[in-house]
Amino acid sequence: MRIIYLDIDSLRPDHMGCYGYHRNTTPNIDAIAAQGVRFNDCYCASSPCVPSRGSFISGRFGIHHGALTHWGPGGEFQYPEGDGHSKEIPFFTRYLREAGMKTVTFSTFGDRHHAWWYFAGWNEVHTHSLKEGNENADEVNASVIPWLRQHGKEDNYFLHIQYWDPHTFYTYPIEYMEQWKDSPAKAFPDEAAIAAQQEHSFPRSAPFLHWGDKYPATMPGQIANRSDFKHAVDGYDGGISYMDKHVGELLETLRELGIEDEVCFIISADHGESMGEQGIYLEHASATEAVHHLPLIIKAPGMENKGTAIDGFVYNVDVIATIAEMAGLKVPSGWDGQSFLPALRGEHWQGRDYLVMDHALYVCQRAVRDERWYFIRTYHPGLYLHFDEVTLYDMIADPNQTTNVADRHPEIVKEMDHRLSQWQHEQARKPGYKVDPMQKVIETGPWKYLSANDWVRRLNQKGWKEAAEKLRSTYSREAVQPAYDG
């Protein structure tokens, strides 16, 4: 069995043609989807990059693999202590390799995030540059295409290819952005919403789109109006289009080798990207729908239900479990994923009733998602003070998540909170459970790329004195310590 897994950073499904997008951003991926199945309700259990790929390599939720943030407390990848490797919770790559599959990755992820555990179990690791994820798709293919020409006809391999192009900063040729100049951007957010967002003062907000003062022409300096928003969307879609062009190169190479119809393609992402939701742009900074909703396309030889869309909630760890079963392996008892192989066969299958997801890099949040409701509990807002402690969105009436209706539906809040609490108890009862890494991040704060002091200085530099004082007072010792009565 030949499996090619396309791991595309920061890719939103609703910016892909096969998911109904009005721009022709992904013609090559769309062609793959037409010969396979498309899942509408796939989500990463933990975001962003390190937590999600920790789940990819381990088959476990972030609460178990431990890397719930990018480094420091709460970012330590956990594996059974002692020498040797666990049979109950094996590394995904090692598990496939032990079964006789050749496992190969073309990715600089481990180098970018110092995630050395990512390199476990592969037969071959190709980092192909020292740019730490800042390479473009052409640089990735410069290594991948020669490998395919040399090894593509071999049998029984799992080839993982990571593309970064939809992730900021966008460094592809400018014409890939300019192709959208006459194509309108989607309706949300409208001018009124953008005008209201001018009061925001957190990173990647409309007035503070950048952490510094340097940015490429593929990105606007701020989001002051719909024109700026279109610029941002054009830049993002340009990255997607450039990536897809190079997916086309892969397909052409497989055609030359005569094996295009013999390859199983799996296409997904580590996380999505905010595009104005919660006032955040071009970032993956929360446990929200925009960040956690993933594309998932699977095309396998002999599929009878090709070209169909499948509804039903699945996690990214379920994808890992399914790949194992496709390879003829049992899903290990220590993994958190559940195989959905029956869905690929066109058999009766039902997804999970609801999902629990978390984020601990920029904020500390856990979310519960079911068919209608999206519930978020914020334990630490970091620099994003606009997040309420408890948030509830009606995803049917408000798919863009603009209005917190928690106060209108206390019974729903109670039910979702119960689901979250029940999930936490279930995880704590699993063998090998140590400590919830979320607690470590809450204790030390989600300060990785920016601290509160860093942002206070930037706000002061830009003349936002009131916002700077609010942030300073929120996190000053005087603000959190009780007064001494003597």
CA 70 – CA 73 distance, rounded (Å): 9
Question: Would you identify the CATH topology of the domain 357-476?
Answer: Arylsulfatase, C-terminal domain (3.30.1120)
Q: What is the mean pLDDT of residues 72-81?
A: 93
Q: What is the mean pLDDT of residues 235-259?
A: 98
Average pLDDT of the chain to the nearest whole number: 95
Residue 195 CB contacts under 8 Å (≥ 6 apart), including other chains: none
Q: How far is CA 24 from CA 18, 165, 218, 252, in A?
A: 9, 16, 18, 19
pLDDT at 484 over 50: no
Question: Would you identify the CATH topology of the domain 2-352?
Answer: Alkaline Phosphatase, subunit A (3.40.720)
CA 51 – CA 367 distance, rounded (Å): 15
Of 243, 91, 99, 98, which is closest to residue 161 (Cα–Cα)?
243
Q: Where in the chain is the domain with CATH 3.30.1120.10?
A: 357-476
**Residue 478 has what pLDDT?**
40
Q: What is the mean pLDDT of residues 224-243?
A: 98
pLDDT at 66 over 60: yes
pLDDT band for 83, please (50, 70, 90 cuts).
confident
pLDDT at 462 over 80: yes
Do residues 305 and 290 lie in contact, with contact meaning Cβ atoms separated by under 8 Å? no
**Residue 477 has what pLDDT?**
61
Q: Where in the chain is the domain with CATH 3.40.720.10?
A: 2-352
290-316 pLDDT, tens digit per residue, is 999 999 999 999 998 999 999 999 999
4-50 pLDDT, tens digit per residue, is 999 999 999 999 999 999 999 999 999 999 999 999 999 999 999 99
pLDDT band for 482, please (50, 70, 90 cuts).
very low
371-413 pLDDT, tens digit per residue, is 999 999 999 999 999 999 999 999 999 999 999 999 999 999 9
**Residue 260 has what pLDDT?**
96
Of 167, 162, 223, which is closest to residue 190 (Cα–Cα)?
223
Percent of the chain at pLDDT above 90?
A: 93
pLDDT at 244 over 60: yes
Q: What is the mean pLDDT of residues 272-290?
A: 98
Q: Please tell me the pTM assigned to this model.
A: 0.96
pLDDT at 345 over 50: yes
pLDDT at 224 over 50: yes
91-143 pLDDT, tens digit per residue, is 999 999 999 999 999 999 999 999 999 999 999 999 988 898 899 999 999 99
pLDDT band for 256, please (50, 70, 90 cuts).
very high
Q: What is the 3-state secondary structure of the chain?
A: CEEEEEEECCCCHHHCHHHCCCCCCCHHHHHHHHCCEEEEEEECCEECHHHHHHHHHHCCCHHHHCCCCCCCCCCCCCCCCCCCCCCCCCCHHHHHHHCCCEEEEECCHHHHCCCHHHHCCCCEEECCCCCCCCCCHHHHHHHHHHHHHHHCCCCCEEEEEEECCCCCCCCCCCHHHHCCCCCCCCCCCCHHHHHHHHHCCCCCCCCCCCCCCCCCCCCCCCCCCHHHHHHHHHHHHHHHHHHHHHHHHHHHHHHHHCCHHHEEEEEECCCCCEECHHHCEEECCCCCHHHHEEEEEEECCCCCCCCEEECCEEEHHHHHHHHHHHCCCCCCCCCCCCCCHHHHCCCCCCCECCEEEEECCCCEEEEEECCCEEEEEEEECCCCCCCCCEEEEECCCCCCCCCCCHHHCHHHHHHHHHHHHHHHHHHHCCCCCCCCHHHHHHHHCCCCCCCHHHHHHHHHHCCCHHHHHHHHHHHCHHHHCCCCCC
397-407 pLDDT, tens digit per residue, is 999 999 999 99
Q: State both tokens at 105.
A: 């990755």
**Residue 21 has what pLDDT?**
98
188-203 pLDDT, tens digit per residue, is 999 999 999 999 999 9
**Strand extents, DSSP E, 236-360:** 263-268, 274-275, 281-283, 293-299, 308-310, 314-315, 355-359
Whether omega before 301 lies within 30 degrees of 0, making that bond cis, reads no
133-182 pLDDT, tens digit per residue, is 899 999 999 999 999 999 999 999 999 999 999 999 999 999 999 999 99
pLDDT at 326 over 90: yes
